[in-house]
Amino acid sequence: MKTLILYLTNDGQTKKIAEKLASHIDHATEVLSLREQAGISPEILASYDQIVIGASIRYGHFDKLLEQFIEKHFALLNQKRTSFFSVNLTARKATRNTPQTNTYTRKLLARIKWQPTVVEVFAGALFYPRYTLLDRLCIQLIMKITKGDTDASKEYEYTDWQQVQRFGKQLSKVC
């Protein structure tokens, strides 16, 4: 059994989640940046028994590379056991942390041709001190509107690592 985890990350949290997922899968698993592997061949993808794709939201949008990759490979993806996980700050709220209640994930799945076998939604992280001034101010405004954390001197990690572990164990049970 071989699993491939591809991820797209803005600030590193999606990569961190992908790596943690891999540590909970009890068979051969490879973790690769989709940005670095965008040209991955269908033959290489076909060599994996399971493909997991994770992507984060920035300013209300997934990276365009995600949908380009899906459009190119949806036929192959739909023939395999596949999973998708979304990472976003709205998932920090209990009413927005499932594929059915997370607007970003729900809208993406409605407009793409790929239908993942399993879908999960994880809360991301805020790294205020690492952001540029403009990003920090924009994200603070969004967080203020959504009643989130706005202290720009701090970093906030909302990811539920037990949820990540459960998902990893679920991905192990595909044999």
**Is residue 17 scored above 90 in pLDDT?**
yes
Confidence at 173, pLDDT banded by 50, 70, 90: confident
What pLDDT is attached to residue 76?
97
Q: pLDDT tens for residues 26-63?
A: 899 999 999 998 789 999 999 999 999 999 999 899 99
Tens digits of per-residue pLDDT, 118-158? Answer: 999 999 999 999 999 999 999 999 999 999 999 999 999 99
Residue 113, Cβ neighbours under 10 Å: how many? 11
User: Which pLDDT belongs to residue 39?
Assistant: 85
Q: Indicate if the pLDDT at residue 175 is higher than 70.
A: no
Q: What are the residue boundaries of the structural domains of the chain, listed by start?
A: 3-124+159-173, 126-157
Is 3-124+159-173 assigned to CATH 3.40.50.360?
yes
pLDDT at 158: 97
Residue 174 binned pLDDT confidence (cut-offs 50, 70, 90)? low
CA 37/CA 75 separation, integer angstroms = 18
What is the value of pTM for the model shown? 0.94
Residue 165 to residue 24: CA distance in whole angstroms: 6
